Chains A and B, each alone.
Chain A
Amino acid sequence: MYKTGCKTALLSGMLWLVGCSDPSWQTKDISGLMPPLDFELISEEARSVTEADYAGNVTLLFFGFTHCPHICPTTLANLAAISQELGEEAQNDLRILFVSVDPDRDDPAKLREYTDAFGPEFTGLTGDGEALQALTRRYRVTYGYGEKDDTGNYDVSHSNAVFAFDRDGDAQLLIREDDPKEAVMADLSRLLAH
């Protein structure tokens, strides 16, 4: 009797750990795992912005740097293609925030030039070390810098995932590099429909 009770408790504990997400989302559901959007950064127009500036929109958050050779351009190009396919109405309601974690090399002007290449819904943001650390810590991600080579170039480690927030700023999805395009499309349409 006692042993069965323990087993049931253990089993339900494991189920609670593994299966707490809504199965109807096709990318990773992070509602409940992550806090709502909250930041204080510098925009590509060189003015101070917070999450309130993007309220009412579905917001995507991605961390990177403009010297990034592969992950950042690929991810942003994929998001641009998806946003295009979602249509003009959706595009107006979608804000894609590219947060540079390399403020030494990425100033607002440089960020603006970089994100303009992907589309009007893309906005570059950056900040000082403290502001960046507050935001990355909030979403349990980090970044770090490699050694400089002879030309002064260096690698930056950063999160390769896209965080998606609903119109209320609540964390909803984590989109991974290898998530199929159809899955991302379906989830973003659903998020935009609310």
Chain B
Amino acid sequence: MGEFDSSLAYLLPWEFSPSWTLACLASAGLYVRGLLHRRRSGLHEGFWRPFAFFLGIVAIYTVSQTHFDYLAQYMFFVHRGQHLVLHHLAPFLIALSAPLAILTAGIPHRVRNLPTVTFAAQMLRPGYRLLQQPVIAPLLFVGLIYFWLIPQVHFDAMLSHRLYQLMNWSMLVDGLLFWWLILDSRWPANGGLSYGVRITLLLAVVPPQMLLGAYLTFSHNVLFDVYAVCGRAWPLAPLTDQRLGGLITWIPATMMSVLAVLIIIGRLLGKRSSMYRYG
């Protein structure tokens, strides 16, 4: 019984935050509603797209609202893992599942036609367009990783609950924007970014991430003293913690770019073969 209680405690949030819980629940709810709605119209999504979407949502919930979040606050390498999920892995899965049509189908009609909703969408559009410019998107993507790792900024973010939330939300939102732009299921002719530009963006964000990761991995100085100031989750040598964090920033993060390039090439080849077939 005691063991059951303690393992249950690992699933409970370290710091309950309504924004994360609500966002995860609302998007999962909308998605399920949309799936059912479309099924009634005879549209079936298959297994993999919903699977990728839910995996992304579960991953976001896990790193933000379970014991994982505690470890992320008190171990540098776990924090890097948290941002890998929030900024790379989960948004990648969600964007790959191309959920927009399903989520839209899930919004109740009454809400969709509310004047405030239409107005808000109109207000947000220019900002969204700006952030999705092919020059701004990769700068923002890499810039945010660097910004939150400026030692003084990182110190305050780890010390203040408000800044910590802002940091994690900014990573998730930017991750969604970037991978949405890259993995947009629309063809270039239908408004999506050209495949060449997508591959260029993906390759452009690799060197700065490698550089930062390598710098963290090979540095002989402890760059983030906030983990000594706040105490670590368990006694681990500060440089070991930093090296592990550096490797996470370096290798899996850049692998995501490679994976996305492969997916884009796959789409290019798919398009070509279908052109041959039908053309």
Among B61-69, B98-106, B151-159, B173-181, the stretch that binds chain A is: B151-159
Would you call A131 an interface residue if the criterion is a C-beta within 8 Å of the partner chain's C-beta atoms?
no
Closest A residue to B14 using CB positions: A137
Given B147, B159, B166, B234, which contacts A140 in the complex, CB threshold below 8 Å? B159
B229 near A161 with CB under 8 A, answer yes
Question: How far, in angstroms, from A178 to B126 measured CA to CA in the complex?
Answer: 47
- B221-236 residues at the A interface, CB under 8 angstroms: 225, 228-236
Question: How far, in angstroms, from A158 to B228 measured CA to CA in the complex?
Answer: 8
Would you call B76 an interface residue if the criterion is a C-beta within 8 Å of the partner chain's C-beta atoms?
no
Given contacts A2-B126, A6-B130, A33-B160, whether A142 and B231 have CB atoms under 8 Å apart is yes
**Nearest CB in chain B: distance from A149 CB, A:** 12
A157 near B233 with CB under 8 A, answer yes
Question: How far, in angstroms, from A141 to B229 measured CA to CA in the complex?
Answer: 8
Given A18, A143, A156, A159, which contacts B229 in the complex, CB threshold below 8 Å? A159
**Nearest CB in chain A: distance from B167 CB, A:** 9
Would you call A67 an interface residue if the criterion is a C-beta within 8 Å of the partner chain's C-beta atoms?
no
Question: How far, in angstroms, from A159 to B73 measured CA to CA in the complex?
Answer: 13
Instruction: Tell me the dominant secondary structure on chain B's binding face.
Output: helix
**Nearest CB in chain A: distance from B70 CB, A:** 8
B231 near A146 with CB under 8 A, answer no
B234 near A145 with CB under 8 A, answer yes
A158 near B231 with CB under 8 A, answer yes
B158 near A144 with CB under 8 A, answer no
B231 near A141 with CB under 8 A, answer yes
**Nearest CB in chain A: distance from B171 CB, A:** 14
Q: Which of B156, B230, B231, B233 has the most CB of A within 10 A?
A: B231
Question: How far, in angstroms, from A141 to B227 measured CA to CA in the complex?
Answer: 9
- B148-206 residues at the A interface, CB under 8 angstroms: 150, 152-153, 155-156, 158-161, 163, 166
B234 near A146 with CB under 8 A, answer yes
Q: Which residues on the A side are within 8 Å of B233 (C-beta)?
A: 142, 144, 157
**Nearest CB in chain B: distance from A144 CB, A:** 4
Beyond A18-B152, A146-B235, A157-B233, 13 additional pairs, beta carbon < 8 A: A6-B130, A14-B147, A17-B163, A17-B166, A28-B155, A142-B70, A142-B73, A144-B235, A160-B228, A174-B229, A176-B225, A177-B228, A178-B225
Q: Which residues of B contact A (CB under 8 A)?
A: 70, 73-74, 126-127, 130, 147, 150, 152-153, 155-156, 158-161, 163, 166, 225, 228-236
A and B contact pairs by CB, cutoff 8 A, 8 listed:
A18-B156, A34-B160, A140-B73, A142-B232, A145-B234, A158-B231, A159-B229, A160-B229
